[in-house]
Amino acid sequence: MAPKTSETLLTPAEEATIDSCANHHLTRNPVSATSVADFDFDRDLTLEESKTPEACKNVAPRGPFADHYTNLASASGGARVLFATDDWFATAENLLEDGPPRFDPEAFCEQGKVLDGWETRRRRQAGHDWCLIQLPKRSEISALELDTAHFTGNNVPRISLEICDLPAAELSGMVAKLPGAYERLLHGGVRGTGRLPGEVAAASEAVERSGAWRELLPETPLSPGFEPTRMHYVRLETPATGNLVRVNYYPDGGVARLRCWGTSLGDVKPATTPLYMPVQTCDACTVVAHSSVSDPSELPSRQPTEHRELSSLDQGGIGGACSNKHYGEPWRLIQPTLGRDMGDGWETARHPSRPGILRRQRGSTLLDTPLSDWAVVRLGGSGSRTGVAKIIVDTKHFRGNYPESVRIEGCHSLPCGETEAPEAAGGYDPSERGSGEWFSLVPRSRTSPDAEHVFERSRGQLENADRPVTHVRVSIFPDGGLSRLRVYC
């Protein structure tokens, strides 16, 4: 049902609010005036009084909707003008200002009288003036408020509003077709300018083809901006939803302020682009992004295996020494569960000495950096005498701070006697660092965000896979975080 401009659409409380205001106007018929004398003021202001700040403000009363809704057509709230047919006397951005319209009787510019609102030229081309406003969020509009303050001989005689609800991708496509839209978003409207007929036609076509427009306010008369007639309040019979509002002037003129009262329904965000995956499944490893599986049970780390995860805390694994534990300790790497969030892993601080510009190694996809961090994990029991069968490096939740690459090494270092092995406190022993000769298990390899990286002996993806191993050292380049490290033997 189309909204109507009728007093009966206001609640009794809103009627009382309006009746208590000195400045209001609700009518179905336009008001015409040839001079200020046509209105019954208590008394005429003298010339000097008309120049005082109080007389120039024409302060708007607090309307009936302000205590119940938010003004979604507010520049301070993020509303902005995407297009206007004409900004000759005053730009359309003024419609969205929060403060009261101001008036300086002596303010003139090259275009003419300076007024605080959106005022177009006296139209001399076919058609009518209009502008397009993007609301800061997708909104449900329940009421409207229009103020013609100070536009006493040049107000818009009739006006209508339309609303459209566009997804982000369609909104972006439409804006790209609006002449001057990008410049306007960057710099705002420019007084003394107007769009050529061809540009207006192109904008009209882009807007009309963009989506289904719904009538927000039918063609409605507006009264001049004298104190008794400036305010126009409208409650909609049915709230309207959208994120774009088209304001139609019939045919030209000026309006000081527009208020679209309602409630926000949330941001209109563009679809997220997939994470950049520097490395995907290849001969070197299998990469499974967490976002690629609908059920976590499909992940490699959740699949049944004939090998034991000796690094796990459940198998007696110990998180040992590390170069940096600013955001998490190594024992978190060897929990049997999937990481809960980014805090449930081992993450290092950013190296303060990192170079200002990162460079790639010649002939390689790896960064040319001497910086790295490392952590040691002691395998459960006596380690493995038959070597390592599989290693999984998991960067779950680490989307903006995963390592550029990892290197994994092993060593065989048993204490003199099993009873002399250091006790682990809470699964973490800071003295456990391994000793003896470190040998390569996984050469330095690129990693991807939020993914499991699987290196398997059966696929020839591990080096020295048959050598006995008691400790594993993971090095990350240049820094960053890992969610889990799983070593299967």
Within a domain: 44: no
pLDDT digits (tens, 9 = 90+) for 30-67: 444 443 344 333 334 444 544 444 444 566 678 889 88
* 237 and 292 both lie in a single domain: no
User: What's the Cα-to-Cα distance from 467 to each of 318, 386, 427, rounded to whole Å?
Assistant: 20, 6, 26
Within a domain: 474: yes
pLDDT of residue 434: 63
Of the residues 215, 232, 264, which one is the last residue of a structural domain? 264
* 242 and 292 both lie in a single domain: no
Within a domain: 27: no
pLDDT of residue 414: 59
pLDDT of residue 107: 74
* 97 and 223 both lie in a single domain: yes
Phi first, then psi, for residue 373 (nearest 5°) are -130, 160
pLDDT digits (tens, 9 = 90+) for 286-329: 999 999 999 999 999 999 999 999 999 999 999 999 999 999 99
Average of pLDDT values for 217-221? 96
Q: Rounded to 10 degrees, what is the CA torsion of 102, 74, 186, 123?
A: -60
Return d(Cα 28, Cα 219) in angstroms, integer. Answer: 10
Please tell me the total number of residues recorded for the chain in this structure. Answer: 489
pLDDT of residue 168: 86
pLDDT of residue 345: 96
Counted domains in the chain: 2
Within a domain: 410: yes
Q: What is the mean pLDDT of the chain?
A: 85
* 133 and 253 both lie in a single domain: yes
Burial 44-59, CB ≥16 within 10 A → b, else e: eeeeeeeeeeeebebe
* 84 and 205 both lie in a single domain: yes
* 92 and 216 both lie in a single domain: yes
Max Cα distance, the chain (Å): 108
Say which residue, 108 or 30, is predicted with more confidence: 108
Average of pLDDT values for 416-433? 41
Asked if residue 347 lies in contact with residue 326, where contact means CB atoms within 8 angstroms, the answer is yes
Within a domain: 24: no
Q: How confident is the model at residue 4 (pLDDT cuts 50, 70, 90)?
A: very low
pLDDT digits (tens, 9 = 90+) for 162-174: 999 999 889 999 9
pLDDT of 275 higher than 50: yes
H helix intervals, 157-306: 168-175, 181-187, 197-210
* 245 and 318 both lie in a single domain: no
pLDDT of 109 higher than 90: no
* 324 and 179 both lie in a single domain: no
Query: Which of 275, 276, 279, 298 lies closest to 287, judged by CA?
Result: 279
List the strands of the sheet with 373-378, edge to edge.
318-322, 373-378, 471-477, 405-411, 439-446
pLDDT of residue 118: 96
* 169 and 134 both lie in a single domain: yes
Strand partners, 374: 475
pLDDT of residue 37: 40
Average of pLDDT values for 398-423? 74
pLDDT digits (tens, 9 = 90+) for 331-376: 999 999 999 999 999 999 999 999 999 999 999 999 999 999 999 9
* 138 and 188 both lie in a single domain: yes
The pTM for the full model equals 0.64
Query: Which of 73, 71, 70 lies closest to 81, judged by CA?
Result: 73
Of the residues 264, 299, 323, which one is the last residue of a structural domain? 264
pLDDT of residue 46: 43
* 295 and 226 both lie in a single domain: no
Query: Could you give the angle at which helices 168-175 and 197-210 cross, rounded to 10 degrees?
Result: 170
Within a domain: 305: yes
How would you classify the pairing of strands 130-147 and 214-221?
A: unpaired
Q: Pick the range with the lowest mean pLDDT from 45-54, 181-190, 395-404.
A: 45-54
Within a domain: 420: no
Q: How many helices (H) and strands (E) does the chain have?
A: 6, 22
Return the CATH number at 175. Answer: 2.60.120.260
pLDDT of residue 3: 36
Average of pLDDT values for 65-90? 94
Within a domain: 470: yes
pLDDT of residue 75: 95
Dump the DSSP string for 364-413: SSSB-----EEEEEEPSTT-BSS--SEEEEE-TT-SSS--SEEEEEEE--
* 87 and 140 both lie in a single domain: yes
Burial 425-448, CB ≥16 within 10 A → b, else e: eebbbbebbbeeeeeebbebbbbb
Say which residue, 128 or 12, is predicted with more confidence: 128
Q: How confident is the model at residue 157 (pLDDT cuts 50, 70, 90)?
A: very high
Dump the DSSP string for 1-63: ------GGGS-HHHHHHHHT-SS-B--SS----SSGGGS--SSPPPHHHHTSHHHHH-PPPP-
Q: Pick the range with the lowest mean pLDDT from 107-116, 284-293, 479-488.
A: 107-116
Of the residues 232, 264, 296, which one is the last residue of a structural domain? 264
Burial 147-167, CB ≥16 within 10 A → b, else e: bbbbbbebbbbbbbbbbbbbe
Share of the chain above pLDDT 90, in %: 71
In terms of residue numbers, what domain contains 98? 70-264
